[in-house]
Amino acid sequence: MIWKFFRKYFITGILVLLPLIITGYIVIFAFNLVDGILRNLIQYIAGHRIPGLGFLIMLVVVFLAGLFTQNVVGKKLLMWGEAGLRRIPVVNTIYSASKQVMEAFASGRKEAFQQVVLVEYPRRGLYMIGFLTGTTPDMIRQRVSQDLLNVFIPATPPSHGYFVMVPRQDVQVLEMSVEEGLKLVLSGGIIASSSSYSRSNQLQHSSRQPSE
Protein backbone atom coordinates (compact mmCIF):
# COMPACT_ATOMS: atom_id res chain seq x y z
CA MET A 1 0.00 0.00 0.00
CA ILE A 2 2.72 2.44 0.98
CA TRP A 3 4.80 1.41 -2.05
CA LYS A 4 1.89 2.09 -4.46
CA PHE A 5 1.28 5.48 -2.85
CA PHE A 6 4.97 6.39 -3.13
CA ARG A 7 5.22 5.08 -6.70
CA LYS A 8 2.15 7.02 -7.86
CA TYR A 9 3.37 10.41 -6.65
CA PHE A 10 6.98 9.73 -7.53
CA ILE A 11 6.01 9.15 -11.18
CA THR A 12 3.80 12.25 -11.08
CA GLY A 13 6.75 14.24 -9.78
CA ILE A 14 8.94 12.98 -12.61
CA LEU A 15 6.35 13.98 -15.21
CA VAL A 16 6.18 17.47 -13.70
CA LEU A 17 9.89 18.09 -13.16
CA LEU A 18 11.50 16.34 -16.13
CA PRO A 19 10.23 18.79 -18.81
CA LEU A 20 11.38 21.69 -16.60
CA ILE A 21 14.81 20.09 -16.12
CA ILE A 22 15.23 19.42 -19.86
CA THR A 23 14.13 22.96 -20.75
CA GLY A 24 16.45 24.43 -18.14
CA TYR A 25 19.37 22.34 -19.35
CA ILE A 26 18.90 23.46 -22.96
CA VAL A 27 18.54 27.13 -21.95
CA ILE A 28 21.64 26.99 -19.73
CA PHE A 29 23.62 25.20 -22.45
CA ALA A 30 22.68 27.87 -25.00
CA PHE A 31 23.49 30.63 -22.50
CA ASN A 32 26.93 29.19 -21.68
CA LEU A 33 27.65 28.62 -25.37
CA VAL A 34 26.95 32.25 -26.30
CA ASP A 35 28.51 33.65 -23.14
CA GLY A 36 31.67 31.61 -23.73
CA ILE A 37 32.34 33.26 -27.11
CA LEU A 38 33.61 36.44 -25.43
CA ARG A 39 34.51 34.92 -22.05
CA ASN A 40 38.29 34.91 -22.55
CA LEU A 41 38.33 38.44 -23.98
CA ILE A 42 36.26 39.82 -21.09
CA GLN A 43 38.42 38.01 -18.56
CA TYR A 44 41.55 39.42 -20.19
CA ILE A 45 40.22 43.01 -20.12
CA ALA A 46 38.51 42.91 -16.72
CA GLY A 47 41.07 40.67 -15.06
CA HIS A 48 38.39 38.26 -13.85
CA ARG A 49 35.39 36.41 -15.18
CA ILE A 50 32.00 38.17 -15.22
CA PRO A 51 29.27 35.54 -15.79
CA GLY A 52 26.59 36.63 -18.22
CA LEU A 53 28.41 39.68 -19.56
CA GLY A 54 29.46 37.87 -22.75
CA PHE A 55 25.86 36.81 -23.36
CA LEU A 56 24.64 40.37 -22.82
CA ILE A 57 27.26 41.80 -25.18
CA MET A 58 26.33 39.26 -27.87
CA LEU A 59 22.66 40.28 -27.60
CA VAL A 60 23.62 43.93 -28.01
CA VAL A 61 25.95 43.14 -30.94
CA VAL A 62 23.26 41.12 -32.74
CA PHE A 63 20.69 43.89 -32.20
CA LEU A 64 23.07 46.61 -33.40
CA ALA A 65 24.03 44.51 -36.44
CA GLY A 66 20.37 44.18 -37.40
CA LEU A 67 19.79 47.89 -36.79
CA PHE A 68 22.89 48.97 -38.70
CA THR A 69 22.21 46.87 -41.79
CA GLN A 70 18.74 48.40 -42.18
CA ASN A 71 20.08 51.82 -43.19
CA VAL A 72 21.62 52.80 -46.50
CA VAL A 73 25.22 52.90 -45.25
CA GLY A 74 24.94 49.57 -43.48
CA LYS A 75 23.41 47.85 -46.51
CA LYS A 76 26.18 49.22 -48.71
CA LEU A 77 28.93 48.02 -46.35
CA LEU A 78 27.25 44.61 -46.04
CA MET A 79 27.10 44.34 -49.83
CA TRP A 80 30.81 45.18 -50.13
CA GLY A 81 31.68 42.70 -47.37
CA GLU A 82 29.69 39.90 -49.02
CA ALA A 83 31.32 40.67 -52.36
CA GLY A 84 34.74 40.32 -50.71
CA LEU A 85 33.82 37.00 -49.08
CA ARG A 86 32.54 35.60 -52.38
CA ARG A 87 35.97 36.14 -53.92
CA ILE A 88 37.63 33.85 -51.36
CA PRO A 89 37.62 30.12 -52.29
CA VAL A 90 36.04 27.77 -49.71
CA VAL A 91 34.88 30.76 -47.62
CA ASN A 92 32.58 31.68 -50.50
CA THR A 93 30.95 28.23 -50.46
CA ILE A 94 30.48 28.14 -46.68
CA TYR A 95 29.10 31.68 -46.47
CA SER A 96 26.71 31.33 -49.41
CA ALA A 97 25.29 28.02 -48.17
CA SER A 98 24.91 29.31 -44.60
CA LYS A 99 23.15 32.46 -45.74
CA GLN A 100 20.72 30.58 -47.96
CA VAL A 101 19.78 28.20 -45.13
CA MET A 102 19.24 31.07 -42.67
CA GLU A 103 17.14 33.02 -45.18
CA ALA A 104 15.04 29.95 -45.91
CA PHE A 105 14.13 29.46 -42.25
CA ALA A 106 13.80 33.17 -41.41
CA SER A 107 11.50 34.03 -44.28
CA GLY A 108 9.54 30.76 -44.39
CA ARG A 109 10.44 30.28 -48.00
CA LYS A 110 9.05 27.34 -49.91
CA GLU A 111 12.54 25.82 -50.06
CA ALA A 112 12.49 25.18 -46.31
CA PHE A 113 10.60 22.24 -44.80
CA GLN A 114 7.65 21.64 -47.12
CA GLN A 115 6.13 18.38 -45.90
CA VAL A 116 6.72 15.64 -43.36
CA VAL A 117 7.75 12.41 -45.09
CA LEU A 118 8.63 8.84 -44.25
CA VAL A 119 11.70 7.20 -45.78
CA GLU A 120 13.48 3.90 -45.29
CA TYR A 121 16.78 4.98 -43.77
CA PRO A 122 19.57 4.04 -43.08
CA ARG A 123 18.54 0.68 -44.56
CA ARG A 124 15.49 -1.19 -45.78
CA GLY A 125 13.08 -2.07 -43.03
CA LEU A 126 13.98 0.93 -40.84
CA TYR A 127 11.82 4.04 -41.19
CA MET A 128 12.70 7.60 -40.25
CA ILE A 129 10.81 10.88 -40.21
CA GLY A 130 12.17 13.41 -42.66
CA PHE A 131 11.27 16.78 -44.11
CA LEU A 132 10.93 17.43 -47.82
CA THR A 133 13.08 20.40 -48.83
CA GLY A 134 12.77 20.32 -52.62
CA THR A 135 13.80 18.50 -55.77
CA THR A 136 17.33 17.36 -56.53
CA PRO A 137 19.25 19.37 -59.18
CA ASP A 138 18.82 18.13 -62.77
CA MET A 139 22.52 17.32 -63.10
CA ILE A 140 22.31 14.73 -60.30
CA ARG A 141 18.98 13.28 -61.46
CA GLN A 142 20.31 12.84 -64.99
CA ARG A 143 23.46 11.17 -63.68
CA VAL A 144 21.54 8.50 -61.73
CA SER A 145 18.58 8.39 -64.17
CA GLN A 146 16.07 8.76 -61.33
CA ASP A 147 13.64 11.38 -60.13
CA LEU A 148 15.08 12.30 -56.73
CA LEU A 149 13.77 14.44 -53.89
CA ASN A 150 15.79 16.29 -51.26
CA VAL A 151 14.97 15.11 -47.74
CA PHE A 152 16.43 16.36 -44.46
CA ILE A 153 16.44 13.74 -41.71
CA PRO A 154 16.93 15.33 -38.27
CA ALA A 155 18.62 13.62 -35.37
CA THR A 156 17.07 13.34 -31.89
CA PRO A 157 17.49 15.81 -30.34
CA PRO A 158 17.47 17.75 -33.63
CA SER A 159 20.80 19.54 -33.18
CA HIS A 160 22.00 18.10 -36.48
CA GLY A 161 20.79 15.80 -39.19
CA TYR A 162 21.42 14.20 -42.56
CA PHE A 163 20.67 15.34 -46.08
CA VAL A 164 19.67 12.48 -48.36
CA MET A 165 18.42 12.31 -51.95
CA VAL A 166 15.65 9.73 -52.18
CA PRO A 167 13.84 8.38 -55.26
CA ARG A 168 10.39 9.95 -55.49
CA GLN A 169 8.64 6.57 -55.35
CA ASP A 170 10.37 5.79 -52.04
CA VAL A 171 9.19 8.97 -50.32
CA GLN A 172 5.89 8.67 -48.46
CA VAL A 173 4.12 11.87 -47.49
CA LEU A 174 2.59 11.92 -44.00
CA GLU A 175 -0.60 13.82 -43.31
CA MET A 176 0.82 15.89 -40.49
CA SER A 177 2.07 19.44 -40.22
CA VAL A 178 5.76 20.30 -40.04
CA GLU A 179 5.21 21.40 -36.43
CA GLU A 180 3.74 18.00 -35.54
CA GLY A 181 6.66 16.29 -37.26
CA LEU A 182 9.18 18.34 -35.29
CA LYS A 183 7.39 17.51 -32.03
CA LEU A 184 7.49 13.81 -32.89
CA VAL A 185 11.23 13.96 -33.59
CA LEU A 186 12.04 16.17 -30.60
CA SER A 187 10.24 13.85 -28.19
CA GLY A 188 11.87 10.74 -29.62
CA GLY A 189 8.47 9.41 -30.67
CA ILE A 190 6.84 9.88 -27.27
CA ILE A 191 4.53 12.62 -28.48
CA ALA A 192 2.51 11.14 -31.33
CA SER A 193 0.73 13.25 -33.91
CA SER A 194 -2.91 13.94 -33.17
CA SER A 195 -3.76 13.91 -36.87
CA SER A 196 -4.14 10.70 -38.84
CA TYR A 197 -1.50 9.92 -41.41
CA SER A 198 -0.85 7.11 -43.83
CA ARG A 199 2.39 5.43 -44.79
CA SER A 200 0.81 4.29 -48.04
CA ASN A 201 0.21 7.87 -49.23
CA GLN A 202 3.14 8.13 -51.61
CA LEU A 203 4.25 11.06 -53.71
CA GLN A 204 2.95 10.58 -57.24
CA HIS A 205 5.36 11.23 -60.09
CA SER A 206 4.59 14.54 -61.75
CA SER A 207 6.16 16.11 -64.79
CA ARG A 208 5.63 19.53 -63.32
CA GLN A 209 8.65 20.64 -61.30
CA PRO A 210 8.30 22.76 -58.13
CA SER A 211 9.29 26.37 -58.52
CA GLU A 212 12.78 27.20 -57.35
Whether 114 maps to a domain, the answer reads yes
Lowest mean pLDDT, pick from 88-97, 114-123, 145-154, 161-170: 88-97
Q: How far apart are CA 12 and CA 16, in angstroms?
A: 6
Domain count of the fold of the chain: 1
The pLDDT assigned to 193 comes to: 53
> Distances from the Cα of 176 to the Cαs of 72, 90, 173, in angstroms?
43, 38, 9
Output Rg (C-alpha) for the chain, integer angstroms: 23
Cβ atoms within 10 Å, residue 117: 26
Tell whether 126 is covered by a domain.
yes
Give the residue-averaged pLDDT of 186-210: 52
* Residue 190 structural domain: 110-212
Dihedral of the CA atoms 95, 97, 101, 102 (nearest 10)?
10
134 in a structural domain: yes
* This prediction's pTM: 0.49
The pLDDT, as a whole number, for residue 201 is 46
Kindly state whether residue 159 falls inside one of the protein's structural domains.
yes
DSSP of 43-85: HHHHSS--TTHHHHHHHHHHHHHHHHTTSHHHHHHHHHHHHHH
Residue 85 lies in a domain: no
- Give residue 35's pLDDT: 81
